Chain A
């Protein structure tokens, strides 16, 4: 333990030393790199400065180059040549030669006007002098510009071939001149000199930008007066002695700031003999600190950092380590406490779980004791491992007797194949599956006493300790079985009773149907008698009319007139033409004859009606005989159209009486039906009667006789022969449509046999009867359809209306 601590201490010390060394090295590295960077930065700044100034000097040199080009062009211009040509011709200034100079002057004026810098003319003055020094042309930008006399001969440069730029000092003022010689036919004849506007030139091309930076033009003379602008206290000679394009450091005394360090850079201006001298404070270029100062500052900083590190190292190292250890101990202690708390919590949970388990076991024990069914558990070896009280009660084996016994030895009767059970159980032990597992079956089991009894057994497989076990619940169902046998016996008795009752009901139904048929027949007979009555009534009325006819009276009157005339037969003509009475009698006889004629007509009409009535009665009686048959059902091939016609005839009086409009559309060539004609007739008559009654009962059409309508049509389509009967009657509510054909249902307060009977007959004849209605008051439509059977003959009659 102690050795470990020592080793740790040594290790930490070594690590600290190593870290300190690395820190030192890093600091030294930083210092060196920083110092070298600063030096390089300064050099870069200086070289950039020189480059910038060089660019500026290049601009100035371009400016002067352009001036030289201007002057050279001017000297080569035609006007000056013309002057000398004219002069060579001998012309004098007094007579003509001056005119040439005028053109030269105009050219100079044009150049002054054309060349500008910052909107001011570049040239202040341009002159042309001859070799004698005579000022031939003098053009100026301003009238008082350079108003001074010069010794022009000094400006002649016969040896130069091109323009030169030179300074000229006059009246403590320096001008920059551009001068070029003029040659006429190879001979030097004069000089063109131009004054450059130094003011605008310096303002435009010599901008310093910086308040302390200044730019001068050194005109290349030893005389310090050839500096533009005034150099002031600049060490001109030193600057001029300094290397070109290299910064020269010097000090300047300032009244306020004291001694200041300046850089001066001298850049030659090509195309001239001038130099551009730029002076600016050193601080503007390389900052305020010297590189040596920087190095010293860095060294001091390094010493301070290292000293502080060493001091800290000596003073606080041990204490820091101890403190660190204390903190670690504290942390460890906290961890242990936390773990203790966790452990206590686990123990508490465990106790709770044990308590819960105990309670659960207690609950299970009580449940098993209270259960009425036997609950047993069979272990993986087939031995009983649990045997509740109910099991003991049912089988007769006590808990101790049953435990660890093979289950099928004590529970199953000997006739059960034990070997098969063994085999099945072996399979279960391995797989947990069996034929009876997860099912509820009924088996006959045995008690201890040897008695066999039926039991209901439910078996489930569970895995305990990796082994399959069976839980079985067994219920003694011997009592239930007895009850079931008794119930079966009662059920059989009940079925016998139901069959007997059903026979009785069918018999009653048949009787009812027969009654309905009879009722229908009676109804039919009643209708026929009613119709006969209706037919007889007009016959009797017409017969009565015949009786009450005035034929006899008229005959009598006629006889009296005859007698009267007979009396006057001797002077008959005079009597009937001249005698007043005779005339009246003859007139009366005429009227009587006319009356006899009308009476004869009336008698004819009445006898026709009587004959029609008798005929009608005969028809009705014929119908009655046609449709009045015995109870025995006879099938025959029937023409549906004829049946419909006859039914309508039978109902004719009712239809007429109720002012019903009848629309008929009977399909020609409809197939015949093989059915009971009489019963079908009854059905059709019933349906027509129902429609008539329905029209009567519809309050909407009752008062509007024009809305009384029945439409009848027959059709054959889709293998069916059909009859469609529509009326504008009271209709049927939609919810009652389903039960309208039910036995006993009627909307008219009757027995309800009508539609039920109709439907029964039609369905017996393999047909269908359906009724459709849009609702109460909206009429109804009945469809009667029969299948078309093979061999039906087509009807030859066409009875469409």
Chain B
């Protein structure tokens, strides 16, 4: 009898431990966040989503969300290589549209918001909010490059083909574990010489200006910023992807949190707060994606 009871207690203990561990392995949900009084925002400094200076479109959005749920805001800096693990507690490797879990890592935050493009492999491990931003991946070359921008057709796929036709032998920068991972767009198959960039996405445009490669992949927000920062130094050749979307990433277990965020985002869109943030950080995007922002 004693042994039974002992075993039962052990089991309960293990379960509890497991629950705790689950809590640490997986992101917290809304009740725990409210109980603790703090929400941790995982963000990779990228474009104007997370500028790295304490502001950015996603930074302000999550700060407003923290106020909305009545908790304190905390920023957790991450990198593209660690961002998924910081949220989910799992170190993963993208394998096409699938993933391979390489191990466990500590959970550092409750959500990811830094212009996180919705990708198939990410969806396997992360849940996305309602889309927060439109995007697309373009190929951007140095201005004096021999490559000439395509004449757009009204068909995106044709445009992609035309771009890819220019890739043969071209040195192209990309970045793994991001939306600019060349593997996602079969760039290598198109004959381009892939160079995986180890620095931040914000450094890609300066890298090709400095001659590290002839071209680079850039998503639209980043490209708009780069065109503004280095006018006449770079040029957009054309798209390598169809239209994409960005959203806020949540752990699979943070169901309530995601739901609350979606409600919050709807409210921001309806009262003009969201558009104000977009106008502030990406004023040019309205011309490119008027339908998205209607």
Contact = CB atoms under 8 A, between A and B. Distances in A.
Interface stretch (B171-179, B248-256, B264-272, B280-288): B280-288
A26 interface: no
A96 to B, nearest CB: 3
Interface string A90-123: 1111111111111100100000000000000000
B26 interface: no
A456 interface: no
A82 interface: yes
B149 A99 contact: no
Given A89-B149, A90-B148, A95 B236 contact: yes
B152 A92 contact: yes
Interface stretch (B16-24, B97-105, B116-124, B222-230): B222-230
B235 interface: yes
A98 B287 contact: yes
A446 B283 CA distance: 161
A85 B138 contact: no
A91 B141 CA distance: 11
A92 B151 contact: yes
Contact of B149 (A85, A91, A98, A103): A91
B288 A85 contact: no
B227 A101 contact: no
Contacts of B143: 89
B211 interface: no
A532 B152 CA distance: 179
A536 to B, nearest CB: 143
Nearest to A92: B152
B138 A96 contact: yes
A98 B284 CA distance: 7
A716 interface: no
A85 B228 contact: no
A695 B148 CA distance: 158
Interface in B58-76: none
Nearest to B286: A102
A92 B149 contact: yes
Contact of B232 (A85, A93, A94, A97): A85
B150 interface: yes
A86 interface: yes
A47 B283 CA distance: 56
Interface centre among A78, A89, A97, by most chain B C-beta atoms within 10 angstroms, is A89
Contact of A95 (B138, B228, B231, B232): B138
B151 A99 contact: no
Given A86-B227, A89-B149, A103-B228, A95 B239 contact: yes
Contacts of A94: 152, 159
A95 B149 contact: yes
Given A90-B149, A95-B150, A100 B227 contact: yes
B27 interface: no
A96 B231 contact: no
B284 A102 contact: yes
Interface string A523-567: 000000000000000000000000000000000000000000000
B238 interface: yes
A94 B138 CA distance: 11
Contact of B231 (A85, A90, A101, A106): A85
A82 B224 CA distance: 13
A81 to B, nearest CB: 8
B238 to A, nearest CB: 5
Contacts of A96: 138, 140, 149, 223-224, 227, 235-236
Majority secondary structure, B binding face = mixed
Contacts of A85: 231-232
A503 B227 CA distance: 164
A98 B288 contact: yes
A90 B166 CA distance: 15
Interface residues of A, number: 20
Majority secondary structure, A binding face = helix
Contacts of B152: 92-95
Nearest to B236: A96
A94 B155 CA distance: 11
B236 A106 contact: no
A89 B150 CA distance: 11
Contacts of B238: 95
A474 B59 CA distance: 151
A102 B239 contact: no
A102 B236 contact: no
A137 to B, nearest CB: 10
A340 B138 CA distance: 141
A554 to B, nearest CB: 144
A90 B151 CA distance: 8
Contact of A86 (B150, B232, B287): B232
Contacts of A102: 283-284, 287
A100 B149 contact: no
A86 B149 CA distance: 10
A89 B142 CA distance: 10
Contacts of B236: 91-92, 95-97
Contacts of A90: 148-149, 235
A95 B143 CA distance: 14
Nearest to B138: A95
B114 to A, nearest CB: 21
B243 to A, nearest CB: 12
Contacts of B287: 98-99, 101-102
B235 A99 contact: no
Nearest to A89: B235
A101 B237 CA distance: 18
A100 to B, nearest CB: 7
A102 B231 CA distance: 13
A82 B232 contact: yes
A779 B248 CA distance: 134
Interface centre among B138, B143, B224, B235, by most chain A C-beta atoms within 10 angstroms, is B235
A101 to B, nearest CB: 7
A101 B256 CA distance: 42
A103 B287 CA distance: 12
A127 to B, nearest CB: 16
A99 B227 contact: yes
A86 B284 contact: no
A82 B231 CA distance: 6
B235 A106 contact: no
A100 B228 CA distance: 7
A92 B235 CA distance: 10
Contact of A91 (B228, B235, B239, B288): B235
Interface in A584-605: none
A99 B228 contact: yes
A101 B150 CA distance: 19
A101 B286 CA distance: 12
A94 B236 CA distance: 10
Contacts of A106: 283
Interface string A58-93: 000000000000000000001000100110011111
A34 B81 CA distance: 102
A95 B151 CA distance: 9
A760 B92 CA distance: 161
Given A92-B149, A92-B152, A95-B138, A86 B228 contact: no
Contacts of B223: 96, 99
Interface of B: 138, 140, 143, 148-152, 159, 223-224, 227-228, 231-232, 235-239, 283-284, 287-288
Given A82-B232, A89-B232, A95-B159, 16 more contacts: A78-B231, A82-B231, A86-B232, A89-B143, A90-B149, A92-B152, A95-B237, A95-B238, A96-B227, A96-B235, A99-B223, A99-B227, A99-B228, A102-B283, A102-B284, A106-B283
29 contacts: A78-B231, A82-B232, A86-B235, A89-B143, A89-B149, A89-B232, A90-B235, A91-B236, A92-B149, A92-B150, A92-B152, A95-B159, A95-B237, A95-B239, A96-B140, A96-B149, A96-B223, A96-B224, A96-B227, A96-B236, A97-B236, A99-B223, A99-B224, A99-B228, A99-B284, A100-B227, A100-B231, A102-B287, A103-B228
Q: Top 7 nearest A-B pairs by Cβ distance?
A: A96-B236, A102-B284, A82-B231, A94-B152, A89-B235, A90-B149, A95-B236
